[in-house]
Each structure stands twice: as structure tokens, then as C-alpha cells.
Chain A
Amino acid sequence: MEKILIEIINLLAVFSLITLPFLNSKRLGIVALVTITIQVLISFALVFLVFTHGNVEYYYQGSFITGNIPIRIDYLSVWFILLISFTFLTGAWYGFQYMKKYQEQTSNLQLHAISYILTFTALIDICIVQNAIVFLLVWEIMAFGSFILIIFEHYKKETLRAGINFLVQSHISILFLTLSFIWVKVKTGSFDFATITSYSALHPSMGIGLFIFLFIGFAIKAGFVPFHTWLPLAHPAAPAHISGVMSGVIIKIGIFGILRMLTLIKTDFIIIGYFILIISVISGLYGVILAIIQHNLKKLLAYHSIENIGIIGIGIGLGCLGLGHENQWLVVAGFGGALLHTLNHSLFKSLLFYSAGNVYQFTHTMNIESLGGLLKKMPHSAYLFLIGSLAICGLPPFNGFVSEFFIYSGLFKGLTSNQFTLTLTMLFSIVALVLIGGLALICFTKAFGIVFLGTNRTEIKADKYFEKPLHFYPLYLIALIILVLGLLPFLFSSTLLKIIGLFQINSGTITIGFMDRTLTNLTVIGAYSFAFIILTGIVFFVRWLIIKRRTSKADLTWGCGYVGETKKAQYTASSFIRSYRKLVEPLLYIKKKKIGAKGIYPNSLKHITHPYDRIESYLIDKPIYLFRRILNRFAFLQNGNIQSYILYGFVFLVAAILFPIFISKIMVFIHLLNQL
């Protein structure tokens, strides 16, 4: 049954590839929407089947290159299939109206729709295929599909630059994956993922090296620092629904890869745990520190994805330490928190990107400094953005709090352990997580407060707005699920338990029965969030009882007696974060341009800041600059003269033939010397 469902999903993708190029923009949208909806419904059915009937495993007869192609659908696969499908569904419905203004670019839209469907299908396949070559193949389809999705507005130079950056970095990721799969193939002679288990069980120390190779490959996709540099470029360049889908689920496939490898590799989980934990703490802090100073709303959200990947990573690291130390609290809280946060982040991040997309459609700018007062003009998007902000800050009663609470409880449990290093690591992870939470609060009070509240800071040539139903219905669906997850997290506890059971729990001290109780202790948090809502409701009711008899009038904002135009006197995003910026200045890299007041009657003052990424400048820009300098020396070779190109070919051929002969002559000579 599951086999048929998977085949239908893939066949639908092929069908769309054949039919979509022949449709005009109007029909194209509808057909693409219907196709993706059917695909998503089928994958929901698949998720349901696997969760009720258990794992599925079957084989395809591959060619002589690939060998047997095993398809294994386990709980981890379907968990990711679930969140990928949901985000792609809302993305498609939201994107349907977002793309309406590009209606005349028919061929561009056709390519876009096909890539959307192909990327979705490839993501589903990545979750289930367990043959290295086929895995790399679908991974490549996914990477290339998302590249085309990003460069929809390819006529803009910035977009194309971001897209190519993405493409290059995706292929560095693929390079690392390929190398590690070759490693396994050479050692075991098979492309089946199951051989990773048998190989690492025989050589546990090699397993760590292999894991680090795989981790780097997946980390580039997921956006762990220092492999994150493509992320803040690609997100602002893509259309809003693509940013939402990309930040929500495409980067999560990196997390899936890491988790999948953890279920396969048998090695020293303590070292891996510390390794992941340290990288994640750095990612989390670095992401949010940079997110705050961004002026571009989408870039801000992109840096926040790095932060959330950090939080997920902290959970994974914690789980690994739990496996190593055989502490079931850490396993449950760590992996449970990471899995739940993956789902949660896919929900609120897509919600935030979609509502940011609405802002863009209305104002045609993403510059936070020039926005303001949008709540009155687009209330639905504003409230949805607020819900997303509260959830992403991890505040109760929304879903972000549940997963962060999981991770916190795990960290506090780990704190009370007997190992000194573990205790200290846990303490610093707690401090990091607290700081991440506090900084996220600054970041989103800034984003929401400046963009939606107050009054408009500049005159925006806005369209006459119209919040049409499709602008916010898919978003309300996400908001509803955010609230349900925040209040009723126990709905997912049996599911989480099944997934956690997949990890290599190889000792008798950790049993599923105990885990069940632990998880119940953790999910109880939803009840208290619910209590808070009721309490707030009561307080509101009391307030209403009291103030209904009181007078209330409207007047201007208090301006110390000044009653004129105050638009420009409002606090801006830069001034809101100024004291913060001064504090973290040493970590940042901000390009500043300042024209101060000069003379007795200064007329024009200017202060322009461009936040930049210090890691990007050291890790990407510097090496590229050096490469260029070296390679520029050889620029004379490219002289556009066909005769010299033929000469190069000739020289190459001669060298290729003569070189081995030359080597063998030298060898003969060395032999001669040896014999003397």
C-alpha cells in the first residue's frame, strides 16, 4: 500500500513535468495547486499508515551501478514527511495568490511551478531512500529545484548572485556527502545505508570521522555556523512563499540527514554530543546576534533560522550525550525537543515569512526603517506576524515554548549529573539558551513594533489594499496549529516516543516504558499554558466589568507638549537597538558611512549602516579574493584566440601521453641507482 502511494506521488511529479509547459498562467496555477494538494494528501495518508502499522521496507531492483535500492520508511521519515508536506501545502496555497502579479511571465511561472513540485517530491524521496547513489541523485534534484525556485526574479542582479551562491554552497555540501558515501562504499562495497551501521560498529573511531564528514555536508544545508553564509542571501532574494518553505523545511532536510545518520552510526556518542552541542550553541547565539541588527525584514528572519537551527542542534547534542551517558531524561528531552522544535519552527517561520510577504506586496519594500503603522492597514497579517513572533521567542502559550521547555528540562537534568564536564557544559548551554531567548525578544519586539506599530515613517507608495482571503487563510491554518501544539503537546507524545525509540539505545537501563512517563512529565506544560489563557480571560473579564462604566476618550500621543507632526520623531529600528549594538560591537562587522554636522548651519546629515557578517568576510570573501588574485595571473591564457586554445589542447594531449612515459623512465633510472 505504502509502495503504491509513494509511486503515485512520484508519478504525479512526472505528470506535472509533462503537462505544465503546455498551459497558460491561469490554468497553470490551478493545475499545479491541485497536483501539489493531491500529493500532500497522499503523503498525509502515508504518514498515517506508517504511524498506525509500523515501519515499511521494500526493495527496487536497481541497475548494476546502484545495486539494490532499499526503501525504508520509518517513524523518523514520516515525521519529516509530515512537516514537509504541511509547509509545502500552505506554501502552495499562499504562493498561488502571491504569484498573481507575475501573471504575464508565463514560461517563468511554468518553470517555477515544475520546480516547486519536483523539489517537494525530491524531499519526500530523500526521507525514504536508503541507497547512497539514489540519495545523492534526489538530493541533487532538490538542490537544483530550490535553486530555480530562488531565482524566480532572475532579472534582478542581486537575486541571481544569491542563487548562484546557494548553488555553489549546495554543491560543496553534496561534495562532502559524496566523499563520505564513497568512504563507506570503498570499505564495505555497498551503497546501502545499512552498511554504515555494520562498518561503524566494527570501527567506532572511524565512525566519528565519518560522522563529522556527513555532519559538515548536512550542516551546510541546515545552516549551522560557520556554514550558514548562503542562507541570509538566499532568503530575501526568493519570493515569500519560497522563503517560507525554504526556511521552514528545506533547511530541515539537513537536520533530517543528521538525525538519520545518528540512527545508523554506532560510535562514541559522547564526543559527537559535545561536538554538536558546541557548534549549535555558537550557531544559536551568532544567528540571533546578527539577526537583531538587520534592516531587511526577510534577512532578519533568515538569521533567525540559523538561531533556531542552533536550538534544534542543542536538542540533538543533548540527546547524543544522553545516549552516551545512558541517561533517558536527556535522550527524551533532547531528541524530543529537537524533533518538536523542527516541527514548530517549520510552522512559525513559514507563518512569519508569509506575513512578511504580505507586507512586501503592500509596500514593495522590506526595509524595516521605512515601514511603520501597518497594523491599521493590514490587521490580519499584523496579528499573524505577532503570533509568529511570540511563538518564535518561545513564549507561552505557543508551541515554541513547549520545545524549548523540553530542552531546558533536559539541560537542567544533565546539570545534576556526576560528571564535572557534563555539568559545566550544561550550565553554559543553559546560559546560551537563555541569552538566545532574551535576544530573540529584542529582535521580535523590534521587528513587530517598528513594522506594524506607530505610524508610517516614510511615505509609502502603497497599493490600495485589500487583504484577500488567500492572503491569510493558509496563515490562519498555521496559526491554529501553532496554538494547538502549544496547548495540547501530548497529542504528539506517542509519536515522539516512537521516533526516539529508533536511536541506538543499546543498554537495558533505558527502556521505553520509563520514557513514556518522562514524556508525560514534559507535555504537562500545555495544561499550564491553558491555565494561563483562562487566567488572562478572567482578568480581562474583570477589567471589562470595571471599565465599562468609565469614560474613555481619544487624544494625541504625549509629546512633552509638542503637538505637531511626529512621524519622523518616532523611534526607529536602529535607535531601538542602539544600546544593544554598542554592547556587541566587537562581534559585529558593520559598514558605516557618516556625514556629521559641520559648520554653524549644517544642512544635510547622514548616517548609513550596512550590517555584514564577520564569518562570511573571513571564510568566504577573503579566500575568494585570494583565489582571484592568484588566478588573475593566468588570465592571459584566456585571450579569445582560437588558435591558442587549440595549442592548449595540443599541449595537454602531449603532456598526457608523455607524462607516464617520463615517469616510467625515471623509475627505471631509480631502479638502476638502487642496483648499483
Chain B
Amino acid sequence: MLSFLLIILVSIFFMGLVIRTKSLASGRKGPGILQPMKDIVRLWKKGSVYSTTTSIIFRIAPTVYFSSIIMAILMIPHGNQPGIISFGGDFVLFAYILALGKFLMIISALDTGSSFEGMGASREALFSMLVEPAFFIIMGSLALFTGHTSFYDMFSVLNYGSYISYLIGALSTFVLILIAMIENSRMPVDDPKTHLELTMIHEVMILDNSGFDLGVILYCTPLKFAMYGALIANFFIGSLPLQISLPLFFAIQIVFAVTVGILESFMARFRMSHNPQFIFILTSVSLLIFFGVLLVLGKFI
């Protein structure tokens, strides 16, 4: 319960921090930290326009997408406080629930019959397929490292002994940050601020959404960021008591947001055809983590 509330809280100011960092990096003052959230709330108050080509799929998809992310957040623990849902193998459900939301968003993009949205849908489907193995290998490494198979058990047992295990923590953080960037279609893979439909991924999928539904979809981005931020934070919190873990959690989320902002300010977007190679790197880095774990446990023959 605690971790759920924390993630919701962080999601409110996360994008604001990212945008603020970006504007400071480009020499502007930038909007207030709550501005992105205010934009979303304004969208929630608006009416909507639906394309005549669309069917009911288009209307239900954003809501299911949103609830899939909420469901995923419910599974994330906070140090030694388990998430609301916690059982052996819960990260499988975590990944598959997110995939369900994605499935519906992809078909809702195809539902509009627009060529742009089809393009975005195609890319989203491919990239999310490519990014999945990295996540599962990290979770497999953690399962191997701790001998447990649920988020809560893995993170509460996690402790760092040797130098290699620090390396494992650092690499996992790196991979999770990049997974978060790809899942949210941010900079090295996709540029949310681009003005050209041909080069977008996620933004082009939601060209036809408006009003409340658009607000819901836009709110999903900070939610997902905060969710992955909480996962990263769990790597460091371990079984620390609350008075240390709470400030640490916020510090990590803020550092995460600033990192995202800095990455977006100083990195250029890849060519679309180079994205798969980039995403494959994640899988190989996570394989490195796996072998690191084998090394720590002395299981190499």
C-alpha cells in the first residue's frame, strides 16, 4: 500500500522535473514542476472527438491501458513492505499485464485506419517485443541471486557482498533506466517533442485520442516512469527502516528524473532502423548481469 501511494505521489511531479531539467539545460527558466500534471487535468475536463472509422476498441483501449499500469504498480514493493499483490512469479504477471495494455493500445491505433498510427503501432509492437527479454533476464538473475521468485522476496533479501555484486546493481539500474526510456518512448529511441509524425512512435499512436482518454494516456507516462523508478529504488533500499528508506526513495526518483532530463537534453534520437540494435544491447548487458550473478554464487563450472 505504501509503495502504491509513493508511486502515485512521485508520478505527479516526475514529468515536471524532467521538463525543468531539460529547460535548465537549454538555458531557459522553464515551467513549474506541476505544469505537466495541470495539462493532464485540463485534458480530463475536456470533451472528446472520436473518429468515425473507430469502433468500441478505440474507446476502451486507453482505460484498459491505464488499469494495466495500475495493476502493475500494485505489485511493486517498497523495501520490506510488500506490494498489495505479491506472490511467487509475480513479475511474470507484471510483464504480461503491461503487455495486455500495450496490445489494446496497438490495435486501437490500427482502429483509426490512419497510416501514421499504423506506423507507430508497428514500431511500438516491435520495440516492446525486443525489450522484454532484458527485463526477464534481470528478474531471472535476481531469482538466481536470492533464490526467490517474487518482487518482495527478491528485494528484501537482496544484499551486496562482493564488488561484483555492486557491479550487478549498477548494471541493473542502467538497464532498467533504459527499459523505462524505451517503454515510455523517450529519447534515444523516440523523441516525444518531434514535430513530424513520420518519426514518432508512441506520440503518433495517440494522434486521434482526445479529451479524457488522451489525458489518461498522457498520465500513464509519469506513472510508468515512477513505477520503474520505484523498481530501481528497490535495488538500493533493501531492508532499511522506513525513516531512511523514504528519503532514499524520493532521492532516487529525483535523480532518476534529472537523469532522464539530462539524457534527453544531450542525446540525439537514433535513426529508426538503428533502434533494434540498440535494444539488443540491453539484452546482452542483462546477460552480463546474469553471468555476474553466476560468478558471485560460484556456480560457473
Contacts and interface: CB of A to CB of B under 8 A. Distances in A.
A559 B99 contact: no
Interface stretch (B48-56, B171-179, B183-191): B48-56
Nearest to A569: B115
Most chain-A Cβ atoms within 10 A of its Cβ — which of B57, B85, B102, B115? B115
B103 A393 contact: yes
Nearest to A382: B55
Contact of A566 (B88, B110, B114): B114
Interface in B91-121: 92-93, 95-97, 99-100, 102-103, 106-107, 109-119, 121
A546 interface: yes
A412 B45 CA distance: 46
Most chain-A Cβ atoms within 10 A of its Cβ — which of B112, B121, B139, B272? B112
Interface in A375-417: 375-376, 386, 390, 393-396, 401, 404-405, 408-409, 412-413, 415-416
B137 A373 contact: no
Given A546-B44, A554-B52, A431 B143 contact: no
A438 B100 CA distance: 11
Nearest to A455: B113
A551 B49 CA distance: 8
Interface string A100-137: 00000000000000000000000000000000000000
Contacts of B128: 438, 441
B122 A578 contact: yes
A415 B273 CA distance: 34
B239 interface: no
A368 to B, nearest CB: 12
A579 B211 CA distance: 32
A427 interface: yes
A408 B94 CA distance: 13
B93 A453 contact: no
A437 B52 CA distance: 32
A579 B103 contact: no
Interface string A528-539: 100110011011
Contact of B96 (A418, A437, A444, A570): A437
Given A396-B96, A438-B130, A535-B67, A550 B211 contact: yes
A504 interface: no
Contact of B103 (A390, A408, A558): A390
A413 B92 CA distance: 13
A415 B140 contact: yes
B122 A435 contact: no
B99 A393 contact: yes
Contact of B92 (A375, A408, A442, A567): A408
A652 to B, nearest CB: 61
B66 interface: yes
A102 B201 CA distance: 47
B235 interface: no
B93 A405 contact: yes
Contacts of B96: 394-396, 401, 404, 437
Contacts of B140: 412, 415, 426-427, 430
B208 A416 contact: no
A412 B149 contact: yes
A536 B72 CA distance: 12
A553 B47 contact: yes
Given A408-B92, A445-B107, A395 B100 contact: yes
Given A405-B92, A546-B212, A578-B122, A453 B55 contact: yes
Given A415-B144, A430-B136, A552 B125 contact: no
B126 interface: yes
B88 A521 contact: yes
Interface string B25-52: 0000000000000000000111111111
Given A423-B144, A441-B102, A543 B63 contact: yes
Contacts of B70: 535, 539
A427 B136 CA distance: 9
Contact of B47 (A416, A543, A552, A582): A552
B49 A552 contact: yes
A521 B86 CA distance: 12
A283 to B, nearest CB: 19
Contacts of A393: 99, 103
A416 B147 contact: yes
A515 to B, nearest CB: 15
B290 A539 contact: no
A449 B125 CA distance: 12
Contact of B110 (A409, A416, A438, A445): A445
Nearest to B101: A395
A366 B83 CA distance: 47
A414 to B, nearest CB: 10
Given A438-B129, A552-B50, A579 B123 contact: yes
Main secondary structure of the interface of B (DSSP, over half): helix
A304 to B, nearest CB: 15
Contact of A557 (B112, B149, B290): B112
Contacts of B129: 435, 438-439, 441-442
A441 B99 contact: yes
B241 interface: no
Nearest to B146: A416
B288 interface: no
Interface in B259-301: 272-273, 276, 283, 290, 294, 299-301
Nearest to B50: A554
Most chain-B Cβ atoms within 10 A of its Cβ — which of A373, A431, A455? A431
B213 to A, nearest CB: 8
A415 B143 contact: yes
A577 interface: yes
A441 B137 contact: no
A198 B257 CA distance: 67
A571 interface: yes
Contacts of B149: 409, 412-413
A17 to B, nearest CB: 46
A409 B96 CA distance: 14
A24 B60 CA distance: 48
Interface in A293-323: none
Contacts of A445: 103, 106-107, 110, 121, 125
A539 B67 contact: yes
B132 A551 contact: no
Contact of A558 (B88, B126, B207, B299): B207
B192 interface: no
Contacts of B46: 550
Nearest to B216: A543
Contacts of A669: none
A577 to B, nearest CB: 7
B124 to A, nearest CB: 9
Given A555-B51, A571-B122, A575-B118, A450 B212 contact: no
A559 B121 contact: no
A204 interface: no
B212 A543 contact: yes
B97 to A, nearest CB: 6
B146 to A, nearest CB: 9
Given A412-B149, A453-B110, 10 more contacts: A416-B144, A431-B137, A438-B99, A454-B112, A525-B89, A552-B48, A557-B52, A558-B112, A576-B110, A579-B276
25 contacts: A386-B57, A393-B99, A415-B143, A431-B137, A435-B129, A435-B132, A437-B132, A441-B99, A441-B102, A442-B126, A444-B103, A454-B112, A531-B85, A539-B66, A540-B63, A547-B212, A553-B49, A557-B52, A557-B208, A560-B116, A571-B115, A571-B119, A576-B125, A579-B273, A583-B276
Interface of B: 44-55, 57, 60, 63-64, 66-68, 70-71, 85, 87-89, 92-93, 95-97, 99-100, 102-103, 106-107, 109-119, 121-123, 125-126, 128-130, 132-133, 136-137, 139-140, 143-144, 147, 149, 197, 207-208, 211-212, 216, 272-273, 276, 283, 290, 294, 299-301
**10 closest A-B pairs by CB:** A571-B118, A438-B129, A449-B110, A551-B47, A454-B113, A557-B51, A539-B67, A550-B47, A453-B111, A536-B67
